Chains A and B, each alone.
Chain A
Amino acid sequence: MAASPGAVSPVSATASSPTLEVRNLQTHFFTRAGVVKAVDGVSFTVGRGKVMGLVGESGSGKTVTGFSILGLVDEPGRIVGGEILFHGQNLARLKEEEMRQLRGNRIAMIFQDPMMTLNPVLRVDTQMIETVLAHTKVSKEEARQRARDTLGMVGIPSPDERLKSYPHQFSGGMRQRVAIAIALLHRPELIVADEPTTALDVTIQAQILAEVQKLCAQTGTAMIWITHDLTVVAGLADELAVMYAGRVVEHGPVNGTLDKPLHPYTMGLIGSVPSRNKRGEPLRQIPGMTPSLLNLPVGCAFRTRCPKAQDKCQQDPPLGELLPGRRARCFFPYNMPAEAAA
């Protein structure tokens, strides 16, 4: 793995230390209507070569979490608390120029909508070469070489010609491959992939998933895969963090969490996935809507939609380790062993 010379990590990456450790992250937006706590005390860890699935309905704070890690939160938003430890170095404290050197280099991001992420008036080669040159001192020709190789790597045929094209000459799937190629240019140690396949059709989604997975396994890249689609993370992620209203409500290994979810919200998400329903059974939707972050219910934020809610839920449930390696923010979880459930 090529660590760039400009890297500023005081702690060397040892095999045991996680690539990323987010501790109690709080990112708030100071709007006219009030303070929107888009991310409110989120913690998780991603190890080298591991994939962390970050799931939740739209508006639960997944994208803002991703932007916080890359230092791309804009006015009126601000990281107001917590730590983002990248190989032990707190990114939340980094100067903008130091952060810029990490971005696109050791930490990359792939955005949700491939139709919007590439600049429409710049050719693909321009957009790739500038990324290479932003972080390494190579000639333009070498940069082009690297761009071409990476395009080939993500499965774009005749990359030499395609380099000279404009984004509108690509299909959505191809554009997302270009965006992925841009993210991979510097072989980053961490990739934040924000619903990168949501806008694509299922076949292309599957292809891209398989390829990204292979690339990450080869290079040891850690990945945060953001999605609202549980079927995607099931085959991809090692760990799962479920977000609701700016907080992690359940966190654990992907298989255990999907097979025996603890939190009623996770249960609801699983119930609304078609393939996981028994045939003939109607799809169960979580009743109600995502509450406005400006007007959350007191106590458990999921209370107004939760089938198990009781009086006690008017207090704030802590995120407790309810089973070994399994944490959930709920007073009355599902799937607890009999003696514990009593």
Chain B
Amino acid sequence: MSVYLLRRLLQSVLVMLAMSVIVFVGVFAIGDPVEILISPDADQMERERAIKALGLDLPLWMQYLSFLGNALRGDLGRSFVFNEPALQLILQRMPATLELALGATIMALIIGLPLGLYAGLKPKSPLSSTIMAGSILGFSLPTFWVGLMLIMVFAVQLGWLPSTGRGPTVEVLGMRWSFLTWDGLRHLAMPALNLALFKISLVIRLTRAGVRETMLMDYVKFARAKGLSPARVTYVHVFKNILIPVVTVVGLELGSTIAFSVVTESVFAWPGMGKLIIDSINVLDRPVIVAYLMMIVLMFITINLLVDLAYSALDPRVRLENK
């Protein structure tokens, strides 16, 4: 098990290195931040001083090496715009995004699992057809449009839920969280649902397919032949097997949910990393863009690792092979 972990960590480091090169070169290719950052009236002297101060006069590989050297010391550069460390900017906004993404994931499981289970157990009932049709909508409606509709209905028409911001936050572990207060939860509800929509559909479809497939397995029939109650067969024998693919896929999706929370954060003015990155791209704030992308890569790698561990905890067959 520890050998396995070590190998995975080594792989992760290599992936991070490769990604850092790609990200750095990619961002360099986007455009010249000087044009945006320095006022058009500035004279040649001022321009050159600014370029030197930003380190933009060095060749690309030297810029990369100094970036890498700094990155290893936890310094991902200073934002051109905020004149603050880029990493700090991102870490400040990360709890908001994490909270949103995790809220959406939990919502997807709480709503998606029972609906998918029902649709799988009673495939011919009209309710199942409705659920499946709904899941197609969830896949195909654009997130920003659904977000706007949610605001129209729940904020504007009914006035039940606030439409922007995080609401009051509470500091825990040095980070600020909304979900710990009732008003914060009310602020979280709509954006989380908006972000969850796609995942709810995904969980419904995965669960239904899993139930349909597992119900045909010999071990389910054998469980029935033992005289177990239908509830025990469904919730222990079938459900535990379905959980494996669902947890794997939903876990792996967490990375993309964080990455794609950009749209939802923009619609609901949710002050997370997604909103920061959009603003930073608009002004070509390179250090922030690079730092953001590196954080996302790191997050994907961590999530994959955690999913693998969860997977082996759920599936005894995998557990043995790793020992």
Contact = CB atoms under 8 A, between A and B. Distances in A.
Given A166-B317, A179-B222, A122 B237 contact: yes
Contacts of A182: 226
Given A118-B219, A119-B219, A121-B240, A72 B225 contact: yes
User: From DSSP, what is the main secondary structure of chain B's interface residues?
Assistant: helix
A117 interface: yes
A166 B316 contact: yes
A118 B320 contact: no
Given A117-B222, A121-B240, A130-B232, A103 B217 contact: no
B225 A103 contact: yes
B194 to A, nearest CB: 34
A120 B316 contact: yes
Interface in B206-246: 217-229, 232, 236-237, 240-241, 244
A116 B237 CA distance: 13
Contact of B227 (A117, A119, A135): A135
A116 B221 CA distance: 10
B225 A113 contact: no
Contacts of A108: 225-226
A121 B314 contact: yes
Contacts of B220: 119
Nearest to B216: A74
Contacts of A105: 227
Given A72-B224, A168-B320, A169-B320, A111 B218 contact: yes
A181 to B, nearest CB: 12
B229 A100 contact: yes
A72 B226 contact: no
B225 A121 contact: no
B227 A100 contact: yes
B316 A103 contact: no
A116 B217 contact: yes
A120 B225 contact: no
A104 B218 contact: no
B57 interface: no
Interface string A249-289: 00000000000000000000000000000000000000000
Interface in A33-90: 70, 72
B46 interface: no
A120 B227 contact: no
A122 B314 CA distance: 10
Contact of A122 (B227, B236, B320): B236
Contacts of B222: 109, 111, 117-118, 179
A104 B226 contact: yes
Nearest to A166: B316
Contacts of A120: 219, 241, 315-317
- Using C-beta atoms within 8 Å of the partner chain, give the interface range for chain B: 20 to 34
A301 interface: no
Contacts of B218: 111, 113, 116-117
A121 B315 contact: yes
A270 B229 CA distance: 43
Nearest to B221: A72
Given A111-B218, A116-B219, A121-B244, A103 B227 contact: yes
Nearest to B315: A121
Interface string B298-323: 00000000000000001111001000
A131 B316 contact: no
A102 B241 CA distance: 27
A113 B223 CA distance: 14
Contacts of B225: 70, 72, 103-104, 108-109, 111
A179 to B, nearest CB: 7
A88 to B, nearest CB: 21
Contacts of A135: 227
A17 interface: no
A103 B230 CA distance: 13
A103 B221 CA distance: 12
Contacts of B217: 116
A119 B314 contact: no
A217 interface: no
Contacts of A103: 224-227
Interface-centre pick from B218, B221, B222, B241 (highest chain A CB count, 10 A): B222
Contacts of A70: 225
B317 A168 contact: yes
B122 to A, nearest CB: 12
B77 to A, nearest CB: 47
A168 B316 contact: yes
Contacts of B223: 119, 127
Contacts of A109: 222, 225
B226 A119 contact: no
Contacts of A111: 218, 221-222, 225
20 contacts: A70-B225, A72-B224, A101-B227, A104-B225, A108-B225, A116-B217, A116-B218, A117-B219, A117-B222, A119-B219, A119-B241, A120-B219, A120-B315, A121-B244, A122-B240, A130-B228, A135-B227, A166-B317, A168-B320, A182-B226
Interface of B: 217-229, 232, 236-237, 240-241, 244, 314-317, 320
Instruction: Return the 9 tightest CB-CB contacts between A and B, nearest first.
Output: A104-B227, A104-B226, A116-B218, A103-B227, A166-B316, A117-B222, A119-B219, A131-B226, A109-B225
Given A120-B241, A166-B316, 13 more contacts: A104-B227, A109-B225, A111-B218, A116-B217, A117-B222, A120-B315, A120-B317, A121-B240, A122-B237, A123-B316, A135-B227, A166-B320, A168-B317
